[in-house]
Each structure stands twice: as C-alpha cells, then as structure tokens.
Amino acid sequence: VQLQQWGAGLLKPSETLSLTCAVYGESFTDYYWSWFRQPPGKSLEWIGEINQAANTNKNPSLKSRVSLSIDTSKTQFSLMMTSLTAADTAVYFCAKGVSRWGPGTLVVVSA
C-alpha cells in the first residue's frame, strides 16, 4: 500500500485546513483510515479516523473543528480543520490505521 497526500501548506489564522490522502494498492474495506499530526520538535497526536462506511472517530480535543470524509470511488480520504491558529502548525500524516503512513504535509499557520 502507498499513500500520497496533498493540501495547502501555508494558511492564515482563522482559515481552514484541507488535506487529501490517496491510497494506492489497497482496498478501502476492513480498515480505518487515520490522520495524525506532529508539531515541530514534538510527539505525535491522533486527529481521527474514518472507515469505508464513513463512520468516524475523532480526538475530543479537536472534534469541534475537524471533519473527515471519504471517497471510495477514488480511494481517497480527506481532513478539514477549521478556525486554525498557530498552535495547529504541524506535519500532518495520513495512515492506514497505524500500520502504513503517508509522507506527511507541513502545514504552517501564520499571519
């Protein structure tokens, strides 16, 4: 399985982050597809997960600002996060569960 991710890397405070992850070489069935993030120099944080049926689980600390979606026809899943602040500056990773991770996208929130 390979994961390729993309999205805007420089955003202003109060804007919305939008990232998409494409999955190659793997079926969408039977797995949860996850998002994580890692602020510079810090540990990892789980954002949430979605499955083929669009059932989601989200980190309560981010739940009010996070939307997850999935497009099974394109084998893609997406993350949106609203009301960004500088504290949301991080590398964002998509993953198949926890077993295979995408390369990461650096998102910087700055005025």
Partner 1 sequence: DIVLTQNPVSLSVTPGQPASISCKSSQSLVHGNGNTYLYWFLQRPGQSPQLLIYEVSRLFTGVSDRFSGSGSGTDFTLMISRVEAEDVGVYYCMQGVSLPLTFGGGTRVDIE
Q: Which residues in this chain contact partner 1 in the complex, by CB under 8 A?
A: 43-46, 57, 59-61, 93, 98-104
The secondary element (H helix, E strand) that includes residue 70 is strand 66-71
Residue 82 CB, shortest distance to partner 1, in Å, is: 19
Q: In the complex with partner 1, which residue's Cβ is closer, 43 or 73?
A: 43
Please tell me the distance from the alpha carbon of residue 46 to that of residue 76, in angstroms, as a whole number. Answer: 19
Is residue 43 a contact partner of residue 104, using CB atoms and an 8 Å limit? no
The secondary element (H helix, E strand) that includes residue 50 is strand 45-51
Residue 93 CB, shortest distance to partner 1, in Å, is: 6
Q: In the complex with partner 1, which residue's Cβ is closer, 70 or 95?
A: 95
Residue 4 CB, shortest distance to partner 1, in Å, is: 12
